[in-house]
């Protein structure tokens, strides 16, 4: 008889929900974590970064208080206090996971896990090495920052998100490599803390995976905030330059700054945990899985950033929960990755679901486009947040939600309506027949759909 029904390796946003859900379903469950409960997301990523972004947003609004008829003295920044608040938020969530483990009876095993045989895991912990057995092993080891030769981080001036999120010394200038979500969020934060910020991106536009119109709109407003963008250009090397850094481009130009942030994507953590030793298929660091998160070896599963759909915390969470529900014998909709929302939390926010125009054309899908600017939305105007627009692709002839793209205030909240619509195969008719409260930002979603059919009365 095994020690556990389910053993989860990793307590990030894929692992800890899987462990809790498994225990809720009556399975004897343990979760192995070598660092902090909650993983990167709760401790060094999603959660603390949103605390920093809220501070930056408030600083921006305070500097524009006169737009609202208010008079506020010059805004000062207590940078160590800003970081301290962010760490406090992260710590609260870490304690929350520990409390949930206790509430639902999940055993927390501290240490580094390695699969040594089918159903057997060795754990190097603070008290030595132990072995435990489990009928089902769920691997949720997440990912780490990626970099390339010639641009290695030193943890002091050349940073990844992990060092940047806890650094409480206020920079005066920063160079950021990569204009994805991580790069832009740090750019927005540091800029509104008073730093000169330059973002370098090899693609021709920021947020390369987003709709180009949406990305261009976001860049326009970020540039107005004073962020400098260098697009379609590549870095040769990054090195220390006295007490700062120097980024040398392939065309010979250089950019000097206090700090350089490497925001060049992530690399899955699949090394050193025994996957290949027990025959689990790994392709370029990624573990292929089916819709139930099963690997090619029975009894071993993978979720989150080490799978082909990795990179987002909410994807990992859903995969983890579905995985253990299938283990418990529940019937559920298998994971496909078709309806994963993408969110970037700088201001203006960017959010999307489904296909871009280019992807729809590549697949040969006929569609209509509907757009609506927040400039014509009463709530956005009243809030002083009228930047951006909603863009929706509606299939022909049935009106299904092929793709939806939002840039503007609360975009990351608004996208859920389109996510629900796609998940439940709703069409434009269902959205047009739904009364949206007035005045709300949500009306812009309705109006974008209506505009596609010539039915909007506000634009």
Give the model's confidence band at 393: pLDDT under 50 very low, under 70 low, under 90 confident, else very high. very high
Residues 287, 139 contacting (CB under 8 angstroms): yes
How does the average pLDDT of the chain come out, rounded?
97
Q: Tell me, what's the pLDDT at 410?
A: 96
Under DSSP, is residue 182 helix (H, G, I), strand (E, B) or coil? helix
Residues 352, 415 contacting (CB under 8 angstroms): yes
Please say if the pLDDT value at position 331 is more than 90.
no
* Tens-place pLDDT, residues 89-138: 999 999 999 999 999 999 999 999 999 999 999 999 998 999 999 999 99
Domain 4-144+267-327 matches domain 158-264 at the CATH topology level: yes
Average pLDDT over residues 53-78: 94
Dist CA 36 CA 34 (whole Å): 7
Dist CA 282 CA 289 (whole Å): 10
Average pLDDT over residues 380-399: 97
Average pLDDT over residues 358-371: 97
Could you please state the CATH topology (level 3) that the domain comprising 4-144+267-327 is classified under.
FAD/NAD(P)-binding domain (3.50.50)
What are the backbone angles phi and psi of residue 366, rounded to the nearest 5°? -80, 140
Please say if the pLDDT value at position 260 is more than 90.
yes
Please say if the pLDDT value at position 390 is more than 90.
yes
Please say if the pLDDT value at position 333 is more than 90.
no
Q: Tell me, what's the pLDDT at 417?
A: 98
Centroid of chain to Cα 14:
13
Please say if the pLDDT value at position 287 is more than 90.
yes
Among 216, 10, 242, 198, residue whose Cα is nearest residue 113: 10
Class for the domain spanning 348-452: alpha beta
Please say if the pLDDT value at position 1 is more than 90.
no
**Token pair listed for 248:** 């040398």
- Please state, as a whole number, how many other Cβ atoms lie within 10 Å of the Cβ of residue 303: 35
Domain spans in the chain, listed from the N-terminal domain onward:
4-144+267-327, 158-264, 348-452
Q: Tell me, what's the pLDDT at 47?
A: 96
Active site residues per annotation: 438
Dist CA 292 CA 176 (whole Å): 38
The reported pTM is: 0.96
| Structural element, H or E, at residue 212 | helix 212-224
Domain 158-264 has CATH 3.40.50.1820: no
Give the model's confidence band at 213: pLDDT under 50 very low, under 70 low, under 90 confident, else very high. very high
Q: Tell me, what's the pLDDT at 6?
A: 98
**Token pair listed for 43:** 């401790």
Give the model's confidence band at 253: pLDDT under 50 very low, under 70 low, under 90 confident, else very high. very high
pLDDT more than 90, % of the chain: 98
Q: Tell me, what's the pLDDT at 290?
A: 97
Which of 106-110, 176-180, 275-279, 331-335 has the least mean pLDDT?
331-335
Give Cβ neighbours of residue 451 (< 8 Å, ≥ 6 apart).
370, 371, 372, 459
Q: Tell me, what's the pLDDT at 30?
A: 98
């Amino acid at each position: 008889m095994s020690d556990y029904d389910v053993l989860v390796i990793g307590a990030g946003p894929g692992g800890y929900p899987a462990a809790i859900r498994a225990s809720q379903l009556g399975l004897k469950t343990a979760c192995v974590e070598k660092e902090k409960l909650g993983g990167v997301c709760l401790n060094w990523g999603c959660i603390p970064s949103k605390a920093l972004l809220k501070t930056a947003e408030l600083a921006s609004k305070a500097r524009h208080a006169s737009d609202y008829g208010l008079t506020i003295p010059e805004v000062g920044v207590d940078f160590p206090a800003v970081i301290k608040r962010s760490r406090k938020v992260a710590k609260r969530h870490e304690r929350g996971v520990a409390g949930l483990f206790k509430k639902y009876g999940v055993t927390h095993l501290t240490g580094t896990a390695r699969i040594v045989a089918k159903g057997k895991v060795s754990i190097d912990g603070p008290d030595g090495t132990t072995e435990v057995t489990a009928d089902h092993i769920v691997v949720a080891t997440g990912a780490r920052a990626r970099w390339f030769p010639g641009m290695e981080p030193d943890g002091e001036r050349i940073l990844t998100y992990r060092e940047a999120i806890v650094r409480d010394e206020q920079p005066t200038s920063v160079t950021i490599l990569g204009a994805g979500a991580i790069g832009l969020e740090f750019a927005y934060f540091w800029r509104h803390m008073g730093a000169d910020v330059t973002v370098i991106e090899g693609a021709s536009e920021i947020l390369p995976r987003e709709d180009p119109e949406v990305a261009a709109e976001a860049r326009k407003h970020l540039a107005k905030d004073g962020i400098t963008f260098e697009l379609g250009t590549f870095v040769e090397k990054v090195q220390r330059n006295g007490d700062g850094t120097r980024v040398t481009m392939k065309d010979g130009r250089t950019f000097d700054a206090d700090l350089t942030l490497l925001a060049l994507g992530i690399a899955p953590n699949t090394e050193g945990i025994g996957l290949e030793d027990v025959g689990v298929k790994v392709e370029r660091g990624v573990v292929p899985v089916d819709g139930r998160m099963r690997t090619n070896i029975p009894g071993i599963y993978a979720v989150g950033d080490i799978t082909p759909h990795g990179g987002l915390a909410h994807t990992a969470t859903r995969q983890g929960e579905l995985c253990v529900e299938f283990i418990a014998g529940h019937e559920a909709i298998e994971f496909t990755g078709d309806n994963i929302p993408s969110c970037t939390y700088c201001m203006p926010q960017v959010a999307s679901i489904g296909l871009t125009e280019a992807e729809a054309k590549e697949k040969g899908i006929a569609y209509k486009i509907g757009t609506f600017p927040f400039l014509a939305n009463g709530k956005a105007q009243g809030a002083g947040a009228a930047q951006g627009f909603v863009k929706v692709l509606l299939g022909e002839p049935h009106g299904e939600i092929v793709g939806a793209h939002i840039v503007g205030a609360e975009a990351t909240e608004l996208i859920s309506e389109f996510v629900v619509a796609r998940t439940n195969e709703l069409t434009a008719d269902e959205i047009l027949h739904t009364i949206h409260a007035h005045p709300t930002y949500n009306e812009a979603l309705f109006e974008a759909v209506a505009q596609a059919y010539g039915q909007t009365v506000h634009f």
